Structure 1
Amino acid sequence: MSQKPWLLHYPKEVPPTYSYPKQNLADFLIQSAEKYPGHKALHFLGKELTYAELLEGAYRFARVIRKLGVSRGDRVAIMLPNCPQLVMAYYGTLLAGGVVVMTNPLYVPRELEHQLKDSGAAVILTLDLLFKRVQSVVPATSVRHVIITSIKDYLPFPKNLLYPLKVKKDGMSREVNYGETVHSFLKLMRAASGSPVHTEVDAENDLALLQYTGGTTGVSKGVMLTHYNVIVNTVQNSLWSYKTKHGEERYLAALPFFHVFGLTVLMNQAVMLAGTLLLIPKFEVDQILQVIDKMKPTVFPGAPTMYIALINHPDIHKYDLSSINICVSGAAPLPQEVQTRFEEITGGRLIEGYGLTESSPVTHANNIWENRKLGSIGIPFPDTEAKIVHPETGEELPVGEIGELAVHGPQIMKGYWNNLAETNRTLRGGWLHTGDMARMDEDGYFYIMDRMKDIIIAGGYNIYPREIEEVLFEHPGIEEAAVMGVPDKYRGETVKAFVVLKGGASVTETELEKWCRERLAAYKVPHLYEFRDSLPKTLAGKVLRRKLIEDDPAQQGRVVK
């Protein structure tokens, strides 16, 4: 490990180590607004805001929450889709010295209550459409103030007038009971001063984010990310994408900002580089194609499911996608077939990276313009180390052997909020033990096999779902696939494949079994197939294996690891 073989494969433009600024994370916004005040910062369904306007909005929000009693270190929850209000509130909270708690708008009351209680959030900003859900859990939490905004607040004319009509037609309620603890975002912002607000922070120790894990494998945990953690990872991503230019890039922001991938690789990086964020509140493939064709984004980080939806769209040839230069795929494994096809269509580069909420999130990525290895997550970022260890003993394993991936670097979390036991289990000797099974080749490229908890053990063999999913994705009739283990009386577990076919395709179980037997060892071939119209996913595009288990009658009573 002391040799760090991956450094031999760094582009000459990327430094292996770097001196990162120790400042308030929101200083990125101040610096870009000072240098590019009139440059377009946000484009939201036709509405545009400059960097000067965005910074003023952040200053106003900082004054709003201070007036509501938020002081340094207090937590502020933001429960919004991608919209201007989210960006203002995020940087405004940081400027006021608060800690941001990004909250998924799809959370049901039970999930929302857990996060608000656990974080101790004092204020929550959310949509009028979500008011009843939020209000139902507030009494059980420490939330003192609820701030309500609406999608229409930052829509251009006439969309702002048409929006309420559409909501009513769709049967959704925008009714809000305003009062002493429930406030209108627009009224508060109009009454607040836009003069500068800035809190000096101890960047390496003060929290910028309390970012909750997805909860797809158990109870959601609050990851403590400092200002320095997030600054480091934002800069690391920028160094890796060394051809990006200040004040010139246009970022297609379809990844939700409440997910740490979208937060760092999209919002923080775009603001640091004074790029334009094309805000997409909800991923809809037709809209995405229209935005790319019209707005000409140059950078499009996403999840594999987004690229899959695009390349399988029947009318994709009608749109000009040639503006796209860089795409970084994360949140789930990227099938090689999808990568190859997307690059053929756009002419841009689509690479796979890797990260976790606990690492702000990115630790590895493939080279964008230089040599890369398909199927690999690439090599560690600057100032980042990685190794493969025995999952039980922690002993480092030789090159080529499969074990648990452990990473070390300045972007690694401070720990889990109010959870010392989990912190000590995950952070050992300064190394983050990821829970992902992987291997490293002789060049220092890493390959994720699967989550330890997703490995299928059938008849004593370890089977990695990703390997089987790659084979299924190669089938011309398959659009999406997910593989998991199901109970089996003889083998302990056996392999089951959940498959979504491409439009118009007709494929039988017998055909799929033959396809797999020609490409996989016999013990890896799925014994069961289930054809579905879609797979359950998080908004970040990660397949919810727990939901697949819950939906499968054959697995009722199975313990979810």
Structure 2
Amino acid sequence: MSEHSSGVVGRATIGDAIHRQALRQPNKDALVTYNTDGSQNALTYKEVDLRAASCATGLRELGVQRGDVVAICAPNGVEYIVAYLGALQIGAAVTGVNWAAPLADIEWQIEHAGATTVVIGESRLHECEEILKKLTTVQYVIVVGDSDIRSSIEVTKFSSLVQNTPLDTTESDVNENDIALLVYTSGSESKPKGVLIPHRNYLISTTFSLLSAGYISPDDVYLFVKPFHTIAGIGSITSMLLVGSTLVFLEAVTPDAVLDVVQEARITTISQTPTFYVGLTRSEKFATADFSSLRTCQTYGGLVSRTMLETFANKAPHIRWASYWGQSELTQLGTIGWFRTFDDIPAGDPRWIGIPTPGLEVRIVDADGNDTDTGEMICRSPSVMAGYHNDAERTAETISNGWLHTGDIVHRDNDGNLFFFDRIKDMVKTGGMNVSSLEVEDALHQHPAISQAAVVGLPDEYWAEAVTGFVVLRQGMTVSESDVIDFCRGLLSAYKVPKRIVFLDALPVDAQGKIRKRELRALYSPG
């Protein structure tokens, strides 16, 4: 795996960067898994690099070529990462598929991606056999698992791929402009879009992250609790390996298991949604948990609560918090803001998402493209996606004159702070007025009986769209619809107050925990 070749000198790919980490710190732990039986498995950077290179050889010998798409539909685990890195080494692109998704969703993504190869967890192989037979682009099926595989289709065991002689990367013609990832958006509003991300984007994005006031560090021991198939998942894995950090995984993620491993593994960094942190505070182990090693807690995808932050601050005031915003189309990270307590947040507004990362240029524009304080955020950066897979029309709509249109309504104050107001598609147009669903959700969350809330506009003959709140109550608590509406009247302007409250046992969410508002509209729209 020598780098002394004119084809490799100066090349900037994810595989090359991780190989150089393996040369620099071969015996440092890269991936550590804590199993439910109390055992641990660890791979050093050298071991990860060699396994990925062996997997690359196996994929190439199987017939996978540069430019192919490899779909990985498997649970979080070391095998997933090795398959991902192995595919990148031969110039294939990887698309992560939610392995717990319905069969129809799995079939749709593999077909839309045009995947030639599917890496699948053994627990879902048999129920996916029929769709794999139907998909004409799929030529190779690789199974992750320890069991003897019996299948009606031809399969290759993943364990056999990594027994091959490691690929000599000087023989690979992959370059930084090749597509590394085909990431599908959550599809909370419409069919998912396939975002094309070249190798160079991750090298650029990771550099921006390093420059963002300690967002990530080579010294970090990073507890990873996100689904791998998402941009927040595989994106964070990629960035942390490029930096040279240690990633820690749990075989089963529960609040108690998280609190235990933070102490045992001396975790320095965690990144997850506000709901995740609230769950930790409600664990019986929280009061005695040891957070002395924890340097930063990062959060995204929701509003942080004062109560949650105060609970953490009372126990571990040294922790720095980061609220960040990003998109798949931006190769993950776009803005970030640091704080220790709720009072550090500008204007005490939990919608704060910080300031742009280095290298990201931001404009706030109105519907006519004029600069304004509150409007759609558009961005320009070398980390912007290459486009949407097989969708030139939507690519042209989203990237115009070099600017990425994010579809997010944002406010910028005089100090440059950015506040996320809503997705354009989530704005409720009621009685000639625009209402931010996020603002109404924030009001609902302040009710002591409400655990979760989502707000959408439902078709209404009089209002055009009626502001409608969907709420999940805290265990053992009850409240009436009229009580909730009256509560909101004390916090919101009259036209923003929900016209209706619907009580649910649970809100529909995707693998990242994002609420699927499209489902709520479909289920509860009149007629």
TM-score relative to the length of structure 1: 0.84
Asked whether the equivalents of residues 252 and 297 of structure 1 are also in contact (C-alpha less than 8 Å), the reply is yes
Question: Counterpart in 2 of 1:8?
Answer: none
Match for residue 361 of structure 1? 332
Change (3 A) 1:217 1:244: closer
Q: 2:80: which partner in 1?
A: 86
Partner of 1:422: 394
Report what 1:129 is aligned to: 123
1:197 positional shift: 3.1
| TM-superposed deviation, 1:355 | 1.1
CA RMSD in angstroms, aligned pairs only: 2.4
Match of 1:30 in 2: 19
Which residue, 254, 257, 267 being the options, matches 1:284?
254
| Residue 188 to residue 245, structure 1, CA distance change in 2 (3 Å) | closer
Q: Which residue of 1 aligns with 2:4?
A: none
Change (3 A) 1:415 1:481: same
Q: In 2, Cα distance between the equivalents of 1:217 and 1:141? A: 28
> Aligned-pair distance for 1:331?
3.4
Residue-by-residue CA offset, 1:237-292 (whole Å, 9 max, x unaligned): 2221427542x31111101121111222x212221232221123554333223322
Contact 1:109–1:136 (8 Å) recurs in 2: no
The CA deviation at 1:92 is: 1.0
Match of 1:113 among 107, 123, 132: 107
1:389 to 365, 378, 387: 365
Find out whether 1:515 has 2:487 as its counterpart: yes
Q: 1:16 — aligned with what? A: none
Question: 1:40 and 2:14 equivalent?
Answer: no
**Contact conserved, 2:409 with 2:420, CA < 8 A, in 1?**
yes
Work out whether 1:300 is the aligned partner of 2:275: no
- Quickly say closer, same or farther: Cα 1:79–1:484, change in 2 above 3 A: same
Distance in 1 (CA, whole Å) between partners of 2:393 and 2:142 is 34
Q: Distance in 2 between matches of 1:450 and 1:376?
A: 12
Contact 2:467-2:499 within 8 A present in 1 as well: yes
Report what 1:249 is aligned to: 220
Cα separation, 1, equivalents of 2:251 and 2:402: 37
User: Which residues of structure 1 form unaligned runs of 5+?
Assistant: 1-20, 154-163, 165-173
Whichever residue aligns with residue 260 of structure 2, its letter is Q
Counterpart in the other structure of 2:49: 55
Specify whether residues 354 and 113 from structure 1 end up closer, same or farther in structure 2 by C-alpha distance, changes over 3 A only: same
Indicate the SS of the match to 1:277. Answer: strand
Question: Which residue of the partner structure matches residue 323 of structure 1?
Answer: 293
Letter in 2 for 1:483: V
Distance (whole Å) between structure 1 residues aligned to residue 258 and residue 523 of structure 2: 30
How far did residue 126 of structure 1 move? 1.1
- The residue aligned with 1:380 is 356
* Equivalent residues of 1:77, 1:102 under 8 A apart: yes
User: In structure 1, what is the equivalent of residue 159 of structure 2?
Assistant: 186
**Secondary structure at 2:81 match in 1:** helix
List runs of 5+ in structure 2 lacking aligned partners: 1-9
Could you say if the C-alpha distance between residues 241 and 529 of structure 1 is closer, same or farther in structure 2, counting changes exceeding 3 Å? Answer: same
Contact map agreement 2:453 2:470 (CA 8 A) in 1: yes
* Map of 1:10 onto structure 2: none
Matches within 5 A, 1:70-469: 70-138=64-132, 139-150=134-145, 153=146, 176-177=150-151, 181-190=154-163, 192-194=164-166, 196-197=168-169, 199-203=172-176, 205-242=177-214, 244-246=216-218, 248-264=219-235, 266-280=236-250, 283-335=253-305, 337-347=307-317, 348-367=319-338, 372-373=345-346, 374-391=350-367, 393-397=368-372, 399=373, 402-469=374-441
Aligned counterparts of 1:229 and 1:106: Cα–Cα separation in 2: 28
CA contact (8 A) 1:332 1:541 kept: no
Rounded Cα–Cα distance in structure 2 between residues aligned with 1:39 and 1:133: 39
CA–CA distance in structure 2, aligned partners of residues 243 and 357 of structure 1: 18
The structure with higher relative contact order (CA 8 Å, sep 6+) is 1
SS of 1:235 mapped into structure 2 = helix
Q: More displaced, 107-116 or 334-343?
A: 334-343
Instruction: Using the TM superposition, give the Cα deviation of residue 336 of structure 1 relative to its aligned residue in structure 2, in angstroms.
Output: 5.1
Aligned CA distance change for structure 1 residues 445 and 250 (closer, same or farther; 3 Å): same
Q: Match of 2:270, SS?
A: coil
Cα pair distance change 1:343/1:542, threshold 3 Å:
farther
**Corresponding residue pairs, total:** 505
Residue type of the alignment partner of 1:350: W
Secondary structure at the counterpart of residue 47 of structure 2: helix
Task: Go from structure 1 to structure 2 and tell me whether the alpha carbon gap of 1:449 and 1:282 turns closer, same or farther (over 3 Å shift).
Answer: farther
Q: Secondary structure at the match of 1:403?
A: strand
Q: Matched residues in 1 for 2:179 and 2:74: separation?
A: 21
Q: Does the C-alpha gap of structure 1 residues 551 and 345 become closer, same or farther in structure 2, counting only changes over 3 Å?
A: farther
Amino acid at match of 1:296: R
Q: One-letter code of the match for 1:76?
A: V
Residue-by-residue CA offset, 1:67-90 (whole Å, 9 max, x unaligned): 111121111111122200011111
1:187-239 Cα offsets, whole Å, 9 max, x none, are 2322x113543535442x32111111112211122111111112211221222
Report the CA distance shift for 1:406/1:471 in structure 2 as closer, same or farther (over 3 A).
same
Q: Give the deviation of 1:551 after TM superposition.
A: 4.0
Contact 1:125 1:146 in 2 (8 A): yes
Shift, 1:534, TM fit: 2.4
> Are the structure 2 counterparts of residues 429 and 339 from structure 1 closer, same or farther at C-alpha, using a change threshold of 3 Å?
farther
> What residue identity is the alignment partner of 1:40?
D
* 1:15-63: CA deviation from partner (whole Å, max 9, x where unpaired): xxxxxx8601122321221122111111122211111111111011101
Q: In structure 1, the residue corresponding to 2:267 is in which secondary structure?
A: coil
- The Cα of 1:344 is off from its aligned counterpart by 4.2
CA distance in 1, matches of 2:310, 2:394: 39
Distance (whole Å) between structure 2 residues aligned to residue 550 and residue 314 of structure 1 = 39
Residues in 2 aligned to 1:314 and 1:74: alpha-carbon distance in whole angstroms: 48
SS at match of 2:465: strand
Identity %: 31
Q: Using the TM superposition, give the Cα deviation of residue 129 of structure 1 relative to its aligned residue in structure 2, in angstroms.
A: 0.7
Q: Choose between structure 1 and 2: higher strand proportion.
A: 2
Alpha-carbon distance in 2 for matches of 1:335, 1:416: 35
**Does the residue aligned with 1:78 lie in a helix, a strand or coil?**
strand
Q: Give the drift of 1:458.
A: 1.4
Partners of 1:127 and 1:38 lie apart in 2 by 29
Aligned residue for 1:542, secondary structure, equals coil
Quote the Cα distance in structure 2 between the aligned partners of 1:108 and 1:342: 37
Cα distance in 2 for residues equivalent to 1:340 and 1:28 = 40
Find the counterpart in structure 1 of residue 469 from structure 2. 497
Query: TM-score by structure 2 length?
Result: 0.90
Contact 1:62 1:197 in 2 (8 A): no
